[in-house]
């Protein structure tokens, strides 16, 4: 019995090691071995099964090719083809290492259809082995030295993979080019190629046919390609591309790309239709999704507006114009470009005047520059251009240095943001004319500002005298206002406010739970409403910082006499917020109504509003993911209190990022209840003809039909959630193809790329699991149907629970189909009002129809 057990053990060990050796050998071919096509063909497989190498037929073709494709995913995209120009007509192909040490592919007649074509430096080629790596690189090497002799990465076809080295030699002009397939099912070399231009500062160029430029990336500045303005915003690119320095012994330098997340499968491909795409594998959708594509717009087409012309994507097809100082050669024919109106001084051989430079900002720099890497001072760069009569422009770019253009300026493009500054050389008269126009405009504006300032000063002095004359509340004996001075003790204040009613334009407002302060006391606290104490200004009016005699800091919201917001909102805020007590709601300390003055007194929030940090690039990094998630939870708890746990059931109706204030410890406080509404215990929905709120935050049913409920606030919270995660305003993508932040978030969500929505400033350090959960919850909150949105109790549970099951959201079509904003006339008749508020301020604005 023991004998059989030992025999069984030995047999198991033998089978294990045999199978292990077999699996290890599945990615290599040694001298004397081969890979054969046919019915029993088994491809070579990389160690982690990421890539496979073998024989395939594209589409319905019967031709056979040796290629490399992805191995462990459903869509096995081909990334490299050996015999792309010489297909084998049947399944007789054989791959092996020949006697001279080359890797060769033979057909059924033993004719070599493809070879690595290297010269052997040794007579002993028996120690050579070829293997497929997990990077997708197919490498021929020597077993004793493990030194690569030949590798597929040095002989690419149409696909650039991470860790591939793209060689370019500025001295010889030699470079690696990626050549497209001829068609979707024909791997033979096509009509388009992509590579690094060896002349000037390195840049990626897409060529058509015999080196006709179709698109270029702009110059490499050691961090990004300057002609791709949004590249600096994408951490997937930033720090991914690298250029080796210094050059190797042959004078070559190499571009490489290593993604921030090595587990992501991605590839850059030149398509047969003349575009370059970055494709990423979406594990959720089980398919490749397009991350970016070039050329992406009409203006991306190479030199669309001709020499000295500039393309601007203000229109759907791009708008061409001549740069200042130039005129069109042939009207309507932009292929001929523009020509200089006034010759330069050196061209006219005169001694009077000097050539000047006009600066174009946020542009894609022209092609065919001459880099002067040693010049890093702006004046030196400018002087270098002036000394050469052929110089048409210069630019100084960090990471490159000074660049000079002695030829025609071609392929210029105007960006909305990003890009570089280009200094155009012009005759003095051209710059002088432009300067005179600018000076005239500036003078006119300054005169207007001064006149308005004088008028405002006179008006302020008049109003101040009027305010001071009636500042003491005790003199106003005709009103029914009983006022508690700020300097009183809590006991005294409570005694006064316990049964006080104030009359606001004939409407009684009970302040039994709210102190009423005198105008004189507030004026003292705010240093007579001095300009230095003003914290901001909104639709309600200015907000001032004040300090009580006991040292407490306050914020005073003062209703402007010309404010679009009426007494209804003022009264509403007094009634509602006085009854609310929650750590995530701003605390109302009291109010003042005296003469024409109407004021609300709040606790002071030293860190202002959330948008102060969220949308300022210099401050975004101060609110890391841990703090942002804490703010998200705080806002959610505050809303849940309003909807369910407070004495009154309240719909806020104007939740937005500027209405979330931050205290000294960065705790969020929901503010501005001027538009809030109280719901009855059994009331689930209400209708209004007076639609109030902020563009981008209003739910579809509210904006178009006037219907509102707790689900209206849920929708606003979803938008707010996307803003906090992304660091982008909900209106920032209005002019993009997605139309809004919601549309962009949905696009990324459905393509399995939600992590790209996370603010780049915190993407590396944030909790990916929490961030993705927040985006998923936000998508549930912004669904078109109010019934399908979760309530705030469910939202909070989903945010804070790792085990909660999240439903699949439906596509939010409301925002994506109405790109710019809700039309104020939409679904409203002439008797209705549409009231909006700006997210740039912390108060609401009322605009009547």
296 is catalytic: no
Backbone angles phi, psi at 612, to 5 degrees: -60, -35
CA dist., res. 773 & res. 791, Å (int): 16
CB 485 within 8 A of CB 518: yes
Q: How far is CA 78 from the centre of its chain?
A: 31
Check the annotation: does 818 bind a ligand.
no
**How many CA within 13 A on the CB side of residue 532?**
3
Of 407, 415, 411, the C-alpha closest to 303 is 411
Check the annotation: does 541 bind a ligand.
yes
Q: How far is CA 683 from the centre of its chain?
A: 41
Peptide bond into 246 cis (omega under 30): yes
Check the annotation: does 536 bind a ligand.
yes
Check the annotation: does 179 bind a ligand.
no
With residues binned 3-state (H G I as helix, E B as strand, rest as coil), the percentages for the chain, rounded to 5, are: 25, 25, 45
Catalytic residue among 197, 367, 611, 654: 654
Sheet with 51-56, strands from edge to edge, namely 44-45, 51-56, 65-70, 78-81
CA dist., res. 187 & res. 178, Å (int): 12
Cα-based distances in Å from 72 to 75, 279, 280: 9, 16, 14
**How many CA within 13 A on the CB side of residue 676?**
27
- Structure tokens that stand for 580 in this block: 């609310």
CA dist., res. 635 & res. 278, Å (int): 38
Check the annotation: does 538 bind a ligand.
yes
Classify residue 204 as exposed, middle or buried by CB count within 10 Å of its CB (0-12, 13-18, 19+).
buried
Q: Which residues of 792-807 are buried (b: 16+ CB within 10 A; e: fewer)?
A: bebbbebbeeeeeeee
Check the annotation: does 295 bind a ligand.
no
CA dist., res. 533 & res. 279, Å (int): 54
CB 792 within 8 A of CB 632: no
CA dist., res. 207 & res. 190, Å (int): 11
Check the annotation: does 557 bind a ligand.
yes
Check the annotation: does 453 bind a ligand.
no
Check the annotation: does 653 bind a ligand.
no
Check the annotation: does 543 bind a ligand.
yes
Backbone angles phi, psi at 640, to 5 degrees: -60, -40
Provide the annotated binding site: 535-543, 557
Provide the annotated binding site for ATP: 535-543, 557
Active-site residue set: 654
């Amino acid at each position: 019995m023991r004998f059989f057990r030992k025999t069984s053990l030995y047999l198991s060990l033998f089978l294990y090691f045999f199978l292990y050796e077999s699996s290890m050998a599945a990615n290599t071919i040694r001298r004397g071995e081969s890979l054969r096509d046919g019915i029993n063909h088994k491809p070579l497989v990389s160690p982690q099964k990421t890539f496979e190498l073998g024989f395939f037929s594209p589409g319905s073709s019967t031709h056979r090719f040796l290629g490399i494709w992805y191995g462990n995913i459903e869509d096995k995209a081909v990334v490299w083809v050996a015999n792309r120009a010489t297909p084998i007509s049947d399944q007789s192909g054989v791959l092996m290492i020949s006697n001279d040490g080359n890797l060769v592919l033979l057909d059924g007649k033993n004719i070599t259809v493809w070879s690595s074509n290297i010269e052997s430096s040794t007579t002993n080629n028996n120690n050579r082995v070829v293997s497929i790596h997990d990077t997708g690189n197919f490498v021929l090497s020597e077993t004793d030295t493990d030194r690569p002799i030949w590798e597929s990465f040095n002989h690419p076809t149409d696909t650039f993979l991470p860790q591939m080295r793209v060689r370019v030699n500025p001295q010889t002009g030699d470079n690696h080019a990626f050549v497209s397939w001829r068609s979707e099912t024909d791997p033979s070399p096509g009509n388009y190629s992509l590579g690094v231009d060896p002349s000037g500062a390195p840049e990626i160029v897409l060529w058509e046919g015999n080196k006709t430029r179709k698109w270029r990336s702009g110059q490499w500045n050691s961090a990004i390609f300057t002609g791709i303005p949004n590249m600096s915003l994408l951490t997937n690119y930033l720090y991914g591309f690298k250029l080796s320095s210094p050059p190797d012994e042959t004078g070559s330098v190499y571009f490489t790309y290593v993604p921030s997340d090595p587990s992501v499968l991605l590839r850059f491909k030149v398509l047969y239709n003349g575009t370059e795409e970055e494709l990423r594998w979406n594990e959720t959708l089980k398919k490749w999704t397009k991350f970016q594509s070039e050329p992406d717009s009409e203006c991306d087409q190479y030199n669309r507006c001709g020499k000295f012309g500039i393309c601007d994507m203000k229109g759907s097809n791009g708008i061409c114009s001549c740069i200042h100082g130039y005129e069109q050669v042939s009207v309507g024919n932009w292929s001929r470009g523009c020509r200089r109106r006034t010759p330069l001084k050196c061209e006219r051989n005169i001694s009077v005047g000097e050539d000047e430079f006009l600066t174009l900002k946020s542009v894609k720099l022209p092609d065919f520059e001459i880099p002067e890497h040693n010049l890093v001072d702006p004046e030196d760069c400018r002087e270098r251009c002036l000394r050469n009569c052929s110089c048409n422009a210069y630019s100084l770019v960090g990471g490159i240095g000074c660049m000079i253009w002695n030829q025609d300026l071609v392929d210029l493009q105007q960006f909305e943001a990003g890009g570089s500054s280009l200094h155009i050389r012009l005759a003095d008269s051209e710059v002088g004319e432009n300067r005179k126009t600018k000076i005239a405009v500036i003078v006119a504006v300054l005169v207007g500002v001064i006149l308005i300032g004088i008028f405002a000063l006179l008006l302020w002095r008049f109003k101040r005298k009027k305010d001071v004359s009636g500042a003491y509340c005790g003199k106003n004996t005709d009103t029914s206002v009983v006022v508690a001075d700020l300097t009183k003790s809590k006991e005294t204040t409570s005694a006064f406010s316990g049964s006080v009613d104030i009359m606001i334009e004939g409407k009684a407002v009970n302040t039994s739970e709210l102190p009423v302060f005198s105008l004189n006391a507030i004026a003292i606290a705010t240093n007579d409403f001095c300009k230095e104490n003003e914290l901001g200004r909104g639709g309600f009016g200015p907000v001032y910082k004040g300090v009580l005699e006991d040292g407490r800091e306050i914020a005073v919201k003062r209703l402007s006499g010309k404010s679009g917001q009426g007494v209804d909102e003022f009264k509403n805020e007094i009634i509602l917020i006085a009854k609310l007590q929650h750590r995530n709601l701003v605390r109302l300390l009291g109010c003042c109504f005296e003469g024409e003055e109407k004021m609300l007194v709040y606790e002071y929030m030293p860190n202002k509003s959330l948008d102060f940090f969220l949308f300022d690039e210099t401050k975004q990094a101060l609110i890391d993911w841990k703090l942002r998630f804490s703010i998200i939870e705080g806002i959610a708890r505050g809303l849940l209190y309003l909807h369910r746990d407070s004495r009154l059931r309240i719909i806020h109706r104007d939740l937005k990022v500027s209405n979330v204030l931050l205290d000294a410890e960065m705790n969020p406080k929901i503010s501005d209840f001027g538009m809030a509404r109280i719901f009855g215990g059994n009331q689930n929905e209400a209708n209004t003809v007076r639609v109030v709120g902020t563009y981008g935050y209003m739910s579809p049913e509210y904006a178009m039909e006037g219907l509102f409920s707790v689900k209206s606030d849920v929708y606003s919270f979803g938008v707010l959630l996307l803003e906090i995660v992304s660091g982008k305003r909900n209106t920032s993508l209005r002019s993009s193809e997605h139309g809004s932040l919601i549309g962009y978030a949905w696009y990324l969500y459905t393509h399995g790329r939600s992590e790209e929505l996370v603010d780049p400033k915190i993407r590396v350090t944030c909790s990916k699991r929490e961030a993705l959960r927040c985006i998923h919850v936000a998508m549930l909150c912004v669904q078109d149907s109010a019934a399908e949105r979760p309530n705030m109790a469910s939202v909070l549970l989903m945010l804070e629970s790792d085990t909660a099951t999240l439903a699949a959201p439906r596509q939010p079509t409301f925002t994506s189909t109405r790109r710019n904003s809700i039309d104020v006339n939409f679904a409203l008749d002439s008797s209705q009002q549409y009231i909006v508020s700006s997210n740039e301020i912390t108060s609401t604005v009322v605009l009547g129809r």
